[in-house]
Structure 1
């Protein structure tokens, strides 16, 4: 019996923004699923907790530092990942930042930084990794969008970036599908992370009250956890999900238009 491309493809996954929060949870889940995981963040030293959690659980992981919005750093990081862990056939574009403000207060730098990390970063990472997927005739790309893609006060930059991630995802699905590569997006709702805690602090609200307010507006009556997103990413990268591509799944505790 001849091996299928999926059986012979490298079991190496890259997760960006994986030092903490959603990225860390996804990295741990993929490691538990059997992938060797490249834990990528701005500073490799910040990835220590994620790597340690994976290795202590019996998985394989290594930390890599890169500014995903810098083409040279992305190229260098991917080359290092290939050398250490093998050719990547799974990419989770999770790295992101916020620079929230109302439009009339938002600076050009606020706009450029957010679009740079989310959109330019995902483009650069995907461009650098796709050749390994094409060579393997199998690959999985998962991009992190957000419910903010539908619009959110004080987040013109973030909303534009997250909406852009959806168009980027659908285009990747069209271009790469014939090579056995799928591309899908996850759009989280309110997830309990350091980022949402910082938002509460910036608004002058206690994090507990902030979470209670978010839960009250969510049909399942709770806020999300990073593991909720990790479970969805785990589904998208499975062999069984090979006929699911170009989709945006809102993991938000209720429907989103």
Structure 2
């Protein structure tokens, strides 16, 4: 029997990148997957591919900056499958700017999606996660622990997400729901290309750099993160709770010339 047979998962930001890879991975292991994101064409394609491979999936178009969305996602999963076992908070926005150029709107939009939406999705999901002794994985970033130049807003949001992960694990440690976070370094995804566009100020140069990253062994691949998510939502990780797990190929071990 597949390790996630009959489990139901909500994965935010699952129309591309890490979220998409996670949707495929959990479905491969038997989970029923609610795919969600802003792009209806991509989201419908992801759900259709899962169904075409014999899995179960539902796409719900959603913008997590809308405060009503977290509750709607939970209710969609419950209406479709009657239970909820897994929440993967993966959706994120980036902001790479010199300090003098950062605006109130930058802080507000990143906080709304990168931190607040995840909290309220968990809040809405908790009654059902308690019933199933479920698991939550927050896809954070190594930037929650170390800073990158001109990346302060994003780095701060990921630090907040890390602290929220441990706080939830602490508050709910006796209720059987587990909370963990993964802290990737650079991963070859559309989000990396968005960050490069902001960093370089040249869309074509950003695209070329992003394309090169797919073949760079120093850059992570979405499937590598998805495999770690699959472990954290499975019974194999039943004693893992409140963990912040770097997944970055040794990126933080030190500086090298190569």
Instruction: Label 1:209 to 1:76 Cα distance change in 2 as closer, same or farther (>3 A).
Output: closer
Residue 71 of structure 2: aligned partner:
75
Gaps of 5+ in 1: 1-6
Give the TM-score of the pair, scaled to structure 1. Answer: 0.88
What secondary structure, in the 3-state scheme, does the structure 1 residue paired with 2:68 have?
A: helix
Residue 246 of structure 1: aligned partner:
242
Residue 3 of structure 1: aligned partner:
none
Structure 1 residue 211, shift from structure 2 partner = 7.1
Residue 18 of structure 2: aligned partner:
22
Give the TM-score of the pair, scaled to structure 2. Answer: 0.87
Q: Where do 1:120-131 residues align within 5 Å?
A: 120-131=116-127
Is residue 140 of structure 1 aligned with residue 142 of structure 2? no
Q: Where do 1:1-257 residues align within 5 Å?
A: 11-136=7-132, 138-149=133-144, 150-202=146-198, 203=200, 204=202, 205=205, 207-209=207-209, 221-254=217-250, 256=252
What secondary structure, in the 3-state scheme, does the structure 2 residue paired with 1:178 have?
A: coil
Instruction: Label 1:211 to 1:43 Cα distance change in 2 as closer, same or farther (>3 A).
Output: closer
Matched pairs, number = 246
Structure 1 residue 68, shift from structure 2 partner = 2.4
Instruction: Label 1:210 to 1:240 Cα distance change in 2 as closer, same or farther (>3 A).
Output: closer
Could you tell me whether the CA contact under 8 Å between 1:36 and 1:60 is conserved in 2? yes
What secondary structure, in the 3-state scheme, does the structure 2 residue paired with 1:52 have?
A: helix
Structure 1 residue 57, shift from structure 2 partner = 1.5
Structure 1 residue 67, shift from structure 2 partner = 2.6
Structure 1 residue 72, shift from structure 2 partner = 2.0
Instruction: Label 1:245 to 1:79 Cα distance change in 2 as closer, same or farther (>3 A).
Output: same
Residue 256 of structure 2: aligned partner:
none
Gaps of 5+ in 2: 254-258
User: Structure 1 residues 17-26 or 35-44, which shifts more?
Assistant: 35-44
Instruction: Tell me how far apart the structure 2 counterparts of residues 21 and 212 of structure 1 sit (CA, whole Å).
Output: 16
CA RMSD of superposed structures (Å):
2.4
